[in-house]
Structure 1
């Protein structure tokens, strides 16, 4: 406490010895130095902003995404649907490719059941195929996916598995596919 009082006294005595005009000049010099330091810092910030703005101006304008295309009309959707269907006259060829895919995947296809029908509302033919399949579980799934890729107008309606015993590597499966076919390609009238 004593020290603080001594320092305070010394400070008052030193200030009392200073000439008031000299003190005013020193205060103005200190304020000017502070203002100059502030102005220099503000100038540096402005120069950085200016350089960033020039860099942004040199860069190409961002490409605007094209507006999304208009959704297809119902007639276009219907035309695409019918274009994706198979031809009824090619059913035998489609069945041969199905059996060839089964052989490629090492599966034994038993004699299947086939049923053809006509849907008047949709104006298309359906050809339902029930196949008993025997082979490895993974090979059956590979065959199913390959068949759906090879025949894009087919649907997998049912697939059921049965195994005689846990240790048996062979699985028996019942596979039901439906082929959607047109009499002639194009939109039916």
Structure 2
């Protein structure tokens, strides 16, 4: 081989170490390419596919969350709570409707309200009208209990401030009649229609 290719032989003998380094580097580059092509790229493709699937899942969950009506942030939760609170405090013009509800609740319990005293008061701190109401009813203990239950489950802000029960007489079938004296407080928005 030395006689056929004298130039190659001369280069080999003078640069043997350099040529070996170049060959080793070429083998390293080919090995790295092969490793990337057959090991890294399939794993990378699998990871990208998994990432895309997870991103789609996250987007879907975000859409479900947004469509569920659940507030996304604390500020939205506070705004929602304030709106709900304001719905519980009706306009002052609804006071007569509230009195009608009181009479309906007493009727559902089998009781009768004969007279209601009320005193409106403007709350400077909140801007609401505070109505203190007092009245009495007479009936069986079970009727009184049902009436109080209806008051407690009202869909408005209604505070039972004071209750007094006094046994008044024995009614039909030996049942004891009870006089219920009750003081309530409720709130209305002043001047809103």
TM-score, normalised by the number of residues in structure 2: 0.53
Partner of 1:108: 112
Partner of 1:158: 162
RMSD value over aligned CA atoms?
3.1
Partner of 1:96: 100
Question: Structure 2 matches for 1:11-26, cutoff 5 A?
Answer: none
Partner of 2:150: 146
Partner of 1:169: 176
Runs of 4+ in 1 over 6 A off after TM superposition: 65-68
Identify if the C-alpha distance between structure 1 residues 102 and 158 changes in structure 2 by more than 3 Å, giving closer, same or farther.
Answer: same
Counterpart secondary structure, 2:110: coil
Partner of 2:188: 181
The structure whose residues are more often helix, as a share, is 2
CA distance in 2, matches of 1:164, 1:101: 22
Identify if the C-alpha distance between structure 1 residues 108 and 129 changes in structure 2 by more than 3 Å, giving closer, same or farther.
Answer: same
CA distance in 1, matches of 2:159, 2:192: 19
- Relative to structure 2, which stretch is displaced further, 142-151 or 125-134? 142-151
Asked if 1:85 is matched to 2:89, the reply is yes
What stretches of structure 2 of length at least 5 have no aligned partner? Answer: 1-60
Residue 160 of structure 1 deviates from its aligned partner by 1.6
Counterpart secondary structure, 1:178: strand
CA distance in 2, matches of 1:101, 1:76: 29
TM-score, normalised by the number of residues in structure 1: 0.54
Partner of 1:117: 121
